[in-house]
Structures are given as C-alpha cells and as structure tokens.
Chain A
Amino acid sequence: ETGVTQSPTHLIKTRGQQVTLRCSSQSGHNTVSWYQQALGQGPQFIFQYYREEENGRGNFPPRFSGLQFPNYSSELNVNALELDDSALYLCASSSRVTGGVSGELFFGEGSRLTVL
C-alpha cells in the first residue's frame, strides 16, 4: 500500500507567478484535502475534493484552486502568488467508505513554497 506522495518537495517562485502542486492519494482513498501551514501556526484547511468536485473550502481566495482526477490524485494551483503564500502545503487523503465520518487523515510530507 503506497502512502500519500507530494511533489515538488521544495520550490521557489516570485511574486505574481503561478504554481501547481501535486498529490497522489493513498491507495483506496477517494477524498483529498489540502492544508496550508504557515510558520508557527497549525495547518489551515484550504479545500477538499471528493469525486472530482470541490467539497468544502476554507477561508482562502479564489486564486487558490484545485483539481481531482479519476485516479483520485489532486492538484493545488495558486495564481498571482503573494509573499504571504510562502508556507508548507500539505495534502491529506481519506476514505469516506472505510474511514467513515470520523476517519483519520493520511498526510504527505508537504511541498515547501517560498515566494520572493
């Protein structure tokens, strides 16, 4: 059983650019959630994808968008990067079938984005 993998692990962008982060969910998991962790804070919920549709969004602007593919992998896209977007972006997968409504999340190691 493969775990959650994210790419790239580190990247540097400049203000105004766009970035795409990728996540492969754990085998058998149909739900992917994205979190942003800024320095000194806990992870903050960005949005969740289930059956290729966005299923809930946190307090993030529309320039944060995503996709989920038929194999349940997912992308997080951020347009018009700002300095405050510098953070660790975590992807987490879960299963609504086996985990139920209280299912634990399985996280990747994150993508560290630095915006200069």
Chain B
Amino acid sequence: ILNVEQSPQSLHVQEGDSTNFTCSFPSSNFYALHWYRWETAKSPEALFVMTLNGDEKKKGRISATLNTKEGYSYLYIKGSQPEDSATYLCASPAGGTSYGKLTFGQGTILTVHP
C-alpha cells in the first residue's frame, strides 16, 4: 500500500448501532497514525494519535486499534448517536517524521439516523 486508504467511503447507520471503519497505510517506515473527526461547517478535530503496534485508545464511545506490521487501523463507535455524524479522516506522516506533514485518506462519511 503506497497511500493512505479508508473504507467504506460512506456509511449510514441507525441510532444505537455500533459501527467501525478501516484505515490502511504503508507499513514500512511507520511513524504515527492520526484519526480526526470533521463535522460539517467545523474544523477537523483530533481523536487519536497512535504510535505503537497493538495500541488501543478510547475516548468515550469511540475507540481505535493499530496494527503497524500489516498497516491498518480500525475506528469503532459504540452505540452511535446522531451527533457522531461526521467525516472521519485518518492520516499518516509521509517521509518519516510527523511535523504536520500528513498524508490523509479520503475519509469515511458517517450518517447516524435518529
């Protein structure tokens, strides 16, 4: 994998459903994996920055796992709420450092229906 790729591109779920998305990234020269949530008409906000293989992070109902050897990360949302509707972006540094030079995936658009 040469680029950062996300799937699915969009997802519609009902309130209360649990859901997950995938981010694939180059596993060679791994440095860090970022997840951002981007609500409409707002700015992207960081959810997690993960650096270690096997890392698992949690913030409320949202959690993420990281597998650096195979180059993927999963983002989970438990009991989705309408306010979780947003675009979820993952990103990884290109070229070895993470000083803001991130390569982003195209995002997963989540819509949670009441």
CB atoms of B97 and A101 under 8 A apart: yes
* Chain B residues closer than 8 Å to A90, beta-carbon distance: 43-44
A105/B89 contact (C-beta < 8 A), A45-B94, A90-B44 known: no
Interface size class of A (residues with CB under 8 A): 20 to 34
B2-42 interface (Cβ within 8 A of A): 4, 6, 31-32, 34, 36, 41-42
CB atoms of A101 and B99 under 8 A apart: yes
A6 to B67, CA, bound (A): 35
CB atoms of B100 and A33 under 8 A apart: yes
* Chain A residues closer than 8 Å to B99, beta-carbon distance: 31, 48, 50, 55-56, 94, 96, 101, 103
Interface size class of B (residues with CB under 8 A): 20 to 34
Question: B106 contacts the other chain (Cβ, under 8 Å)?
Answer: yes
CB atoms of A31 and B98 under 8 A apart: no
User: Who on chain B is nearest to A94 by CB?
Assistant: B100
A45/B32 contact (C-beta < 8 A), A4-B43, A102-B51, A109-B42 known: no
Question: A40 contacts the other chain (Cβ, under 8 Å)?
Answer: yes
A44 to B3, CA, bound (A): 12
A30 to chain B, nearest CB (A): 10
What are some 13 contacts across the A-B interface (CB < 8 A)? A40-B106, A42-B4, A43-B91, A43-B102, A94-B99, A101-B32, A101-B97, A105-B36, A105-B46, A106-B46, A109-B41, A109-B42, A109-B43
Q: Which 6 A-B pairs have the closest CB atoms?
A: A42-B104, A104-B46, A33-B100, A107-B43, A102-B32, A42-B106
Which A positions have Cβ atoms within 8 angstroms of B? Answer: 3-4, 31-33, 35, 40-45, 48, 50, 55-56, 58, 90, 92, 94, 96, 101-110
